Amino acid sequence: MSTKHEQILQHIYHLGVGEKISVRRIAKVMNVSEGTAYRAIKEAENQGIVTTIERVGTIRVEKKKENFEHLTFAEVVNIVDGQVLGGRDGLHKTLQRFVIGAMKMEAMMRYVEPGHLLIVGNRYQVHQLALEAGAAVLITGGFDTNEETIAYANEHSLPIITTSYDTFTVASMINRAIYDQLIKKEIVFVEDILIPLEDTHFLTTDHMVERWHQLNTDTSHSRFPVVNNEMKVLGMVAAKDILSMKESTPVEKVMTAEPITVNAQTSLASAAHVMVWEGIELLPVVDGESRLLGVISRQDVLKALQVAQRQPHVGDTLDDLITGNVEEAPGGSVYDYVCQLTPQMTNPIGMISYGVLSTLVTEVGSRLLRRHRKGDLVVENLSLYFLKPVQIESEIEMKGKILEVSRKSGKVDVELYLEDELVGKGLMMAQLLEK
Protein backbone atom coordinates (compact mmCIF):
# COMPACT_ATOMS: atom_id res chain seq x y z
CA MET A 1 0.00 0.00 0.00
CA SER A 2 1.39 3.41 -0.97
CA THR A 3 1.99 6.16 1.61
CA LYS A 4 0.03 9.41 1.81
CA HIS A 5 3.07 11.24 0.45
CA GLU A 6 3.16 9.04 -2.64
CA GLN A 7 -0.62 9.27 -3.11
CA ILE A 8 -0.37 13.07 -3.14
CA LEU A 9 2.47 12.96 -5.69
CA GLN A 10 0.38 10.67 -7.91
CA HIS A 11 -2.58 13.05 -7.56
CA ILE A 12 -0.42 16.03 -8.58
CA TYR A 13 1.09 14.05 -11.46
CA HIS A 14 -2.38 13.34 -12.89
CA LEU A 15 -3.52 16.97 -12.67
CA GLY A 16 -3.84 18.80 -15.96
CA VAL A 17 -0.86 20.87 -17.09
CA GLY A 18 -1.52 24.50 -16.17
CA GLU A 19 -3.82 23.68 -13.23
CA LYS A 20 -3.25 25.67 -10.04
CA ILE A 21 -2.22 23.84 -6.87
CA SER A 22 -2.46 24.96 -3.26
CA VAL A 23 -1.52 23.38 0.06
CA ARG A 24 -5.02 23.93 1.45
CA ARG A 25 -6.75 22.40 -1.57
CA ILE A 26 -4.46 19.35 -1.67
CA ALA A 27 -4.90 18.82 2.08
CA LYS A 28 -8.70 18.94 1.71
CA VAL A 29 -8.92 16.70 -1.38
CA MET A 30 -6.47 14.09 -0.07
CA ASN A 31 -7.65 14.32 3.56
CA VAL A 32 -4.16 14.97 4.95
CA SER A 33 -2.55 17.65 7.09
CA GLU A 34 -1.32 20.83 5.44
CA GLY A 35 2.24 19.92 6.48
CA THR A 36 2.03 16.63 4.59
CA ALA A 37 0.55 18.41 1.56
CA TYR A 38 3.30 21.06 1.66
CA ARG A 39 6.09 18.44 1.74
CA ALA A 40 4.57 16.58 -1.22
CA ILE A 41 4.23 19.79 -3.26
CA LYS A 42 7.88 20.63 -2.56
CA GLU A 43 8.89 17.14 -3.70
CA ALA A 44 6.83 17.63 -6.89
CA GLU A 45 8.64 20.93 -7.42
CA ASN A 46 12.00 19.14 -7.07
CA GLN A 47 10.82 16.62 -9.65
CA GLY A 48 10.04 19.47 -12.07
CA ILE A 49 6.30 18.82 -12.44
CA VAL A 50 5.16 21.98 -10.62
CA THR A 51 6.55 25.48 -10.32
CA THR A 52 5.80 28.33 -7.92
CA ILE A 53 5.53 31.95 -9.05
CA GLU A 54 5.33 34.90 -6.69
CA ARG A 55 1.88 36.56 -6.67
CA VAL A 56 0.54 33.80 -8.93
CA GLY A 57 0.93 30.60 -6.93
CA THR A 58 1.91 27.02 -7.73
CA ILE A 59 0.93 25.49 -11.07
CA ARG A 60 1.33 22.08 -12.70
CA VAL A 61 3.84 22.19 -15.55
CA GLU A 62 5.05 19.64 -18.05
CA LYS A 63 8.28 17.97 -17.03
CA LYS A 64 10.98 18.46 -19.66
CA LYS A 65 13.30 15.51 -20.20
CA GLU A 66 14.99 16.24 -23.52
CA ASN A 67 13.93 19.80 -24.37
CA PHE A 68 16.59 21.45 -22.20
CA GLU A 69 17.16 24.46 -24.45
CA HIS A 70 13.59 25.73 -23.90
CA LEU A 71 11.91 27.29 -20.87
CA THR A 72 8.30 27.60 -19.81
CA PHE A 73 6.82 31.09 -19.43
CA ALA A 74 6.45 30.31 -15.69
CA GLU A 75 10.21 29.83 -15.49
CA VAL A 76 10.75 33.12 -17.35
CA VAL A 77 8.66 34.93 -14.72
CA ASN A 78 10.94 33.62 -11.97
CA ILE A 79 14.13 34.34 -13.92
CA VAL A 80 13.32 38.03 -14.50
CA ASP A 81 11.56 38.60 -11.13
CA GLY A 82 8.48 39.44 -13.15
CA GLN A 83 4.84 40.10 -12.40
CA VAL A 84 2.09 38.46 -14.46
CA LEU A 85 -0.40 41.02 -15.77
CA GLY A 86 -2.55 38.56 -17.72
CA GLY A 87 -2.74 35.15 -19.38
CA ARG A 88 -1.91 33.17 -16.24
CA ASP A 89 -3.49 30.04 -17.70
CA GLY A 90 -0.75 29.94 -20.34
CA LEU A 91 2.23 30.05 -17.99
CA HIS A 92 2.83 26.31 -18.40
CA LYS A 93 3.44 26.72 -22.15
CA THR A 94 6.95 26.39 -23.55
CA LEU A 95 8.88 29.37 -24.87
CA GLN A 96 10.11 28.40 -28.35
CA ARG A 97 12.05 31.58 -29.09
CA PHE A 98 12.33 35.14 -27.83
CA VAL A 99 12.33 38.26 -30.01
CA ILE A 100 13.65 41.66 -28.93
CA GLY A 101 11.34 44.46 -30.03
CA ALA A 102 13.94 47.10 -30.91
CA MET A 103 12.77 47.99 -34.43
CA LYS A 104 9.80 49.48 -36.22
CA MET A 105 6.53 47.73 -35.55
CA GLU A 106 5.99 46.46 -39.12
CA ALA A 107 9.49 44.96 -39.30
CA MET A 108 9.23 43.51 -35.82
CA MET A 109 5.99 41.63 -36.41
CA ARG A 110 7.52 39.64 -39.27
CA TYR A 111 9.53 37.74 -36.65
CA VAL A 112 6.73 37.12 -34.14
CA GLU A 113 4.98 33.74 -34.25
CA PRO A 114 2.96 31.51 -31.90
CA GLY A 115 5.09 30.20 -29.03
CA HIS A 116 7.45 33.19 -29.18
CA LEU A 117 8.09 35.74 -26.44
CA LEU A 118 8.33 39.37 -27.52
CA ILE A 119 10.55 41.47 -25.23
CA VAL A 120 9.55 45.11 -25.59
CA GLY A 121 9.01 48.33 -23.65
CA ASN A 122 5.84 50.44 -23.18
CA ARG A 123 4.45 50.12 -26.73
CA TYR A 124 0.77 49.25 -26.23
CA GLN A 125 -0.03 48.63 -29.89
CA VAL A 126 2.90 46.22 -30.20
CA HIS A 127 1.69 44.35 -27.11
CA GLN A 128 -1.71 43.80 -28.73
CA LEU A 129 -0.35 42.78 -32.13
CA ALA A 130 2.07 40.27 -30.56
CA LEU A 131 -0.77 38.61 -28.62
CA GLU A 132 -2.91 38.49 -31.78
CA ALA A 133 0.00 36.70 -33.49
CA GLY A 134 -0.09 34.05 -30.74
CA ALA A 135 3.03 35.22 -28.88
CA ALA A 136 3.51 36.05 -25.20
CA VAL A 137 4.81 39.49 -24.19
CA LEU A 138 7.48 40.53 -21.68
CA ILE A 139 7.36 44.27 -20.93
CA THR A 140 10.65 45.70 -19.67
CA GLY A 141 11.38 48.81 -17.61
CA GLY A 142 8.55 48.15 -15.14
CA PHE A 143 5.89 49.45 -17.54
CA ASP A 144 2.25 48.34 -17.65
CA THR A 145 -0.22 47.80 -20.50
CA ASN A 146 -3.87 48.68 -21.10
CA GLU A 147 -6.94 46.80 -19.87
CA GLU A 148 -7.98 45.67 -23.37
CA THR A 149 -4.64 43.94 -23.91
CA ILE A 150 -4.83 42.22 -20.51
CA ALA A 151 -8.38 41.03 -21.27
CA TYR A 152 -7.20 39.60 -24.62
CA ALA A 153 -4.26 37.85 -22.90
CA ASN A 154 -6.61 36.26 -20.35
CA GLU A 155 -9.07 35.15 -23.02
CA HIS A 156 -6.39 33.44 -25.14
CA SER A 157 -4.15 32.19 -22.27
CA LEU A 158 -1.16 34.13 -23.56
CA PRO A 159 1.07 35.40 -20.72
CA ILE A 160 1.84 39.08 -20.53
CA ILE A 161 4.60 39.77 -18.01
CA THR A 162 6.25 42.94 -16.70
CA THR A 163 9.71 43.30 -15.17
CA SER A 164 11.73 46.22 -13.83
CA TYR A 165 14.85 45.14 -15.75
CA ASP A 166 15.80 46.70 -19.10
CA THR A 167 15.62 44.79 -22.39
CA PHE A 168 19.33 43.97 -22.62
CA THR A 169 19.49 42.64 -19.05
CA VAL A 170 16.36 40.51 -19.54
CA ALA A 171 17.75 38.94 -22.75
CA SER A 172 21.02 38.19 -20.95
CA MET A 173 19.19 36.59 -18.00
CA ILE A 174 17.11 34.32 -20.25
CA ASN A 175 20.17 33.34 -22.29
CA ARG A 176 22.03 32.51 -19.09
CA ALA A 177 19.15 30.35 -17.86
CA ILE A 178 19.13 28.39 -21.13
CA TYR A 179 22.92 28.03 -20.96
CA ASP A 180 22.70 26.73 -17.37
CA GLN A 181 20.13 24.15 -18.46
CA LEU A 182 22.43 22.97 -21.24
CA ILE A 183 25.17 22.43 -18.65
CA LYS A 184 22.73 20.51 -16.44
CA LYS A 185 21.81 18.38 -19.46
CA GLU A 186 25.36 17.00 -19.48
CA ILE A 187 25.19 15.83 -15.87
CA VAL A 188 24.30 12.15 -15.68
CA PHE A 189 22.01 11.14 -12.82
CA VAL A 190 21.30 7.80 -11.18
CA GLU A 191 17.85 7.70 -12.79
CA ASP A 192 19.53 7.63 -16.21
CA ILE A 193 21.14 4.22 -15.62
CA LEU A 194 19.27 2.50 -12.80
CA ILE A 195 18.02 -1.06 -13.23
CA PRO A 196 14.24 -0.57 -12.70
CA LEU A 197 12.29 -2.34 -9.98
CA GLU A 198 10.70 -4.85 -12.37
CA ASP A 199 14.19 -6.06 -13.34
CA THR A 200 15.63 -5.91 -9.82
CA HIS A 201 16.10 -9.04 -7.73
CA PHE A 202 15.54 -8.50 -4.02
CA LEU A 203 14.77 -10.32 -0.79
CA THR A 204 12.08 -9.61 1.77
CA THR A 205 12.26 -9.83 5.55
CA ASP A 206 10.08 -12.98 5.33
CA HIS A 207 12.69 -14.86 3.29
CA MET A 208 15.22 -17.36 4.57
CA VAL A 209 18.86 -17.73 3.52
CA GLU A 210 17.67 -20.50 1.19
CA ARG A 211 16.09 -17.81 -1.01
CA TRP A 212 19.48 -16.04 -1.33
CA HIS A 213 21.00 -19.25 -2.70
CA GLN A 214 18.14 -19.56 -5.23
CA LEU A 215 18.64 -15.99 -6.47
CA ASN A 216 22.40 -16.47 -6.57
CA THR A 217 21.99 -19.58 -8.76
CA ASP A 218 19.43 -17.90 -11.06
CA THR A 219 21.25 -14.58 -11.53
CA SER A 220 24.92 -15.18 -10.63
CA HIS A 221 24.65 -12.08 -8.44
CA SER A 222 25.73 -12.14 -4.81
CA ARG A 223 24.25 -8.92 -3.40
CA PHE A 224 20.55 -8.20 -2.94
CA PRO A 225 18.56 -5.48 -1.15
CA VAL A 226 16.15 -6.55 1.59
CA VAL A 227 12.73 -4.87 1.78
CA ASN A 228 9.68 -5.10 4.03
CA ASN A 229 6.04 -5.48 2.95
CA GLU A 230 5.89 -1.79 2.02
CA MET A 231 8.99 -2.13 -0.22
CA LYS A 232 11.09 0.00 2.13
CA VAL A 233 14.79 -0.91 2.03
CA LEU A 234 15.90 -2.25 5.41
CA GLY A 235 19.18 -3.96 4.58
CA MET A 236 21.55 -5.64 2.13
CA VAL A 237 22.67 -9.25 1.98
CA ALA A 238 25.99 -10.27 0.38
CA ALA A 239 27.81 -13.57 0.10
CA LYS A 240 29.96 -12.82 3.18
CA ASP A 241 26.80 -12.39 5.30
CA ILE A 242 25.49 -15.92 4.72
CA LEU A 243 28.73 -17.88 5.15
CA SER A 244 28.21 -20.86 7.49
CA MET A 245 24.55 -19.89 7.90
CA LYS A 246 21.82 -22.52 7.75
CA GLU A 247 19.38 -22.19 4.88
CA SER A 248 16.56 -21.88 7.41
CA THR A 249 18.11 -18.73 8.96
CA PRO A 250 15.90 -15.65 8.44
CA VAL A 251 17.41 -13.09 6.06
CA GLU A 252 16.58 -10.36 8.57
CA LYS A 253 19.10 -11.86 11.02
CA VAL A 254 22.06 -11.89 8.61
CA MET A 255 21.50 -8.71 6.59
CA THR A 256 23.51 -5.51 6.98
CA ALA A 257 20.91 -3.11 8.38
CA GLU A 258 20.48 0.54 7.33
CA PRO A 259 22.48 0.25 4.10
CA ILE A 260 23.74 3.22 2.12
CA THR A 261 21.21 4.23 -0.55
CA VAL A 262 20.89 6.93 -3.22
CA ASN A 263 17.90 8.59 -4.85
CA ALA A 264 17.13 8.92 -8.54
CA GLN A 265 18.34 12.56 -8.64
CA THR A 266 21.79 11.79 -7.18
CA SER A 267 24.52 12.60 -9.70
CA LEU A 268 26.40 9.63 -11.05
CA ALA A 269 29.71 11.19 -9.98
CA SER A 270 28.46 11.38 -6.40
CA ALA A 271 27.23 7.78 -6.51
CA ALA A 272 30.59 6.63 -7.92
CA HIS A 273 32.40 8.41 -5.08
CA VAL A 274 30.23 6.66 -2.48
CA MET A 275 30.73 3.26 -4.09
CA VAL A 276 34.50 3.67 -4.25
CA TRP A 277 34.83 5.20 -0.77
CA GLU A 278 32.70 2.50 0.87
CA GLY A 279 33.82 -0.38 -1.37
CA ILE A 280 30.23 -1.05 -2.52
CA GLU A 281 29.40 -3.04 -5.67
CA LEU A 282 25.61 -2.47 -5.65
CA LEU A 283 23.54 0.47 -4.40
CA PRO A 284 19.77 0.46 -3.85
CA VAL A 285 17.94 3.44 -5.37
CA VAL A 286 15.04 4.69 -3.23
CA ASP A 287 12.35 7.35 -3.27
CA GLY A 288 11.63 9.95 -0.58
CA GLU A 289 9.97 7.29 1.57
CA SER A 290 12.94 4.84 1.30
CA ARG A 291 10.94 2.57 -1.01
CA LEU A 292 12.98 0.57 -3.52
CA LEU A 293 12.98 1.97 -7.09
CA GLY A 294 15.80 -0.19 -8.47
CA VAL A 295 19.56 -0.64 -8.14
CA ILE A 296 22.78 0.57 -9.76
CA SER A 297 25.92 -1.50 -10.10
CA ARG A 298 29.49 -0.29 -9.91
CA GLN A 299 30.16 -1.64 -13.40
CA ASP A 300 27.24 0.30 -14.92
CA VAL A 301 28.27 3.50 -13.11
CA LEU A 302 31.85 3.37 -14.43
CA LYS A 303 30.68 2.58 -17.96
CA ALA A 304 28.22 5.52 -17.91
CA LEU A 305 30.89 7.92 -16.61
CA GLN A 306 33.28 6.88 -19.38
CA VAL A 307 30.59 7.39 -22.04
CA ALA A 308 29.68 10.81 -20.59
CA GLN A 309 33.30 11.96 -20.75
CA ARG A 310 33.40 11.18 -24.48
CA GLN A 311 30.27 13.21 -25.28
CA PRO A 312 30.60 16.67 -26.88
CA HIS A 313 29.91 19.49 -24.42
CA VAL A 314 27.30 22.13 -25.17
CA GLY A 315 27.93 24.36 -22.17
CA ASP A 316 31.21 25.11 -20.44
CA THR A 317 31.51 25.16 -16.67
CA LEU A 318 34.31 27.03 -14.86
CA ASP A 319 36.23 23.75 -14.61
CA ASP A 320 35.90 23.29 -18.39
CA LEU A 321 37.29 26.79 -18.92
CA ILE A 322 40.32 26.08 -16.71
CA THR A 323 41.10 22.54 -17.88
CA GLY A 324 40.57 23.56 -21.51
CA ASN A 325 43.54 25.93 -21.14
CA VAL A 326 45.84 23.23 -19.76
CA GLU A 327 48.12 21.98 -22.54
CA GLU A 328 51.12 19.71 -22.68
CA ALA A 329 54.40 21.63 -22.48
CA PRO A 330 56.32 21.83 -25.78
CA GLY A 331 58.96 19.19 -26.47
CA GLY A 332 62.23 19.71 -24.67
CA SER A 333 60.61 21.55 -21.75
CA VAL A 334 61.35 20.47 -18.19
CA TYR A 335 57.65 21.02 -17.41
CA ASP A 336 54.73 18.67 -18.09
CA TYR A 337 51.93 21.19 -18.72
CA VAL A 338 51.33 24.92 -19.25
CA CYS A 339 48.23 27.05 -18.68
CA GLN A 340 47.45 30.64 -19.68
CA LEU A 341 45.81 32.51 -16.78
CA THR A 342 42.70 34.31 -18.11
CA PRO A 343 40.77 37.11 -16.31
CA GLN A 344 38.06 34.61 -15.26
CA MET A 345 40.62 32.64 -13.27
CA THR A 346 41.58 35.49 -10.95
CA ASN A 347 40.32 36.81 -7.64
CA PRO A 348 39.14 40.43 -7.10
CA ILE A 349 42.73 41.70 -6.79
CA GLY A 350 43.91 40.13 -10.06
CA MET A 351 45.76 37.11 -8.66
CA ILE A 352 45.09 33.43 -9.37
CA SER A 353 42.19 32.23 -7.22
CA TYR A 354 42.44 29.39 -4.73
CA GLY A 355 39.75 27.44 -6.58
CA VAL A 356 41.66 27.68 -9.86
CA LEU A 357 44.85 26.51 -8.17
CA SER A 358 43.03 23.43 -6.80
CA THR A 359 41.56 22.68 -10.25
CA LEU A 360 44.99 22.94 -11.92
CA VAL A 361 46.60 20.61 -9.36
CA THR A 362 43.71 18.15 -9.72
CA GLU A 363 43.86 18.24 -13.53
CA VAL A 364 47.62 17.72 -13.76
CA GLY A 365 47.57 15.00 -11.09
CA SER A 366 44.66 13.21 -12.81
CA ARG A 367 46.33 13.33 -16.22
CA LEU A 368 49.55 11.86 -14.85
CA LEU A 369 47.73 9.04 -13.05
CA ARG A 370 45.65 8.23 -16.12
CA ARG A 371 48.80 8.17 -18.22
CA HIS A 372 50.29 5.70 -15.74
CA ARG A 373 47.10 3.67 -15.30
CA LYS A 374 44.14 4.08 -17.63
CA GLY A 375 40.76 4.44 -15.97
CA ASP A 376 38.73 6.82 -13.82
CA LEU A 377 39.57 8.18 -10.41
CA VAL A 378 38.03 10.03 -7.49
CA VAL A 379 40.04 12.71 -5.65
CA GLU A 380 40.28 11.76 -1.99
CA ASN A 381 42.46 14.51 -0.54
CA LEU A 382 44.06 17.74 -1.74
CA SER A 383 46.67 19.85 0.08
CA LEU A 384 47.56 23.25 -1.45
CA TYR A 385 50.24 25.82 -0.74
CA PHE A 386 50.33 29.38 -2.10
CA LEU A 387 53.96 30.49 -2.20
CA LYS A 388 53.86 33.63 -4.35
CA PRO A 389 51.07 35.58 -6.08
CA VAL A 390 50.49 34.99 -9.81
CA GLN A 391 49.21 37.92 -11.85
CA ILE A 392 46.51 38.03 -14.47
CA GLU A 393 47.38 36.78 -18.00
CA SER A 394 50.53 35.01 -16.86
CA GLU A 395 51.55 31.63 -18.24
CA ILE A 396 51.85 29.02 -15.51
CA GLU A 397 54.11 26.00 -16.03
CA MET A 398 53.40 22.82 -14.09
CA LYS A 399 55.49 19.80 -13.18
CA GLY A 400 54.02 16.64 -11.67
CA LYS A 401 55.57 13.65 -9.97
CA ILE A 402 53.85 10.39 -9.03
CA LEU A 403 54.95 9.64 -5.48
CA GLU A 404 53.02 6.44 -4.97
CA VAL A 405 50.58 4.31 -6.95
CA SER A 406 48.90 1.02 -6.13
CA ARG A 407 45.99 -0.95 -7.51
CA LYS A 408 43.45 1.20 -5.66
CA SER A 409 45.10 4.56 -4.97
CA GLY A 410 47.64 7.09 -6.14
CA LYS A 411 49.54 10.08 -4.75
CA VAL A 412 50.88 12.90 -6.94
CA ASP A 413 52.98 15.98 -6.15
CA VAL A 414 52.33 18.98 -8.45
CA GLU A 415 54.46 22.16 -8.60
CA LEU A 416 53.47 25.41 -10.35
CA TYR A 417 56.09 27.76 -11.77
CA LEU A 418 56.09 31.28 -13.18
CA GLU A 419 59.21 32.11 -15.19
CA ASP A 420 61.03 29.17 -13.56
CA GLU A 421 60.18 30.39 -10.05
CA LEU A 422 58.11 28.13 -7.78
CA VAL A 423 54.79 29.90 -7.00
CA GLY A 424 52.50 27.09 -5.83
CA LYS A 425 52.46 23.48 -4.78
CA GLY A 426 49.89 20.77 -4.27
CA LEU A 427 49.63 17.18 -3.11
CA MET A 428 46.75 15.08 -4.51
CA MET A 429 45.63 11.67 -3.28
CA ALA A 430 43.06 9.75 -5.32
CA GLN A 431 41.15 6.49 -5.32
CA LEU A 432 41.56 4.61 -8.61
CA LEU A 433 38.40 3.04 -10.00
CA GLU A 434 38.82 -0.48 -11.23
CA LYS A 435 37.04 -1.39 -14.44
pLDDT digits (tens, 9 = 90+) for 97-141: 888 887 788 777 888 889 899 999 888 999 999 999 999 999 999
DSSP β-bridge partners for residue 305:
none
Residue 68 within a domain:
no
Is 45 in the same domain as 90? Answer: no
Q: In this structure, what CATH number is given to the domain that contains residue 295?
A: 3.10.580.10
Is 160 in the same domain as 201? Answer: no
Q: Give which of 170, 99, 112, 184 is closest to 141, Cα–Cα.
A: 170
Averaged pLDDT in 10-residue chunks for the chain of 435 residues: 76 84 89 86 80 77 56 86 91 84 79 89 90 92 92 94 89 77 63 86 92 89 90 91 88 91 84 79 88 88 65 58 85 86 77 86 91 79 84 86 89 92 91 71
Residue 307 within a domain:
no
The reported pLDDT for the residue numbered 400 is: 92
Can you give 181-215 as a three-state secondary structure string? Answer: HHHHHHCCEHHHCCEEHHHCCCEECCCEHHHHHHH
Q: In this structure, what CATH number is given to the domain that contains residue 386?
A: 3.10.129.10
Is 196 in the same domain as 298? Answer: yes
pTM, to two decimals: 0.47
- Structural domain that includes position 143: 73-186
Is 273 in the same domain as 352? Answer: no
Residue 313 within a domain:
no
Q: CA separation (Å) from 352 to 23, 109, 203, 219, 400? A: 49, 48, 54, 54, 19
Is 404 in the same domain as 347? Answer: yes
Is 103 in the same domain as 159? Answer: yes
Q: How many folded domains does the chain comprise? A: 4
Residue 312 within a domain:
no
Task: State which of 153, 186, 219 marks the end of a domain.
Answer: 186
Residue 310 within a domain:
no
Residue 81 within a domain:
yes
Is 46 in the same domain as 89? Answer: no
Is 268 in the same domain as 344? Answer: no
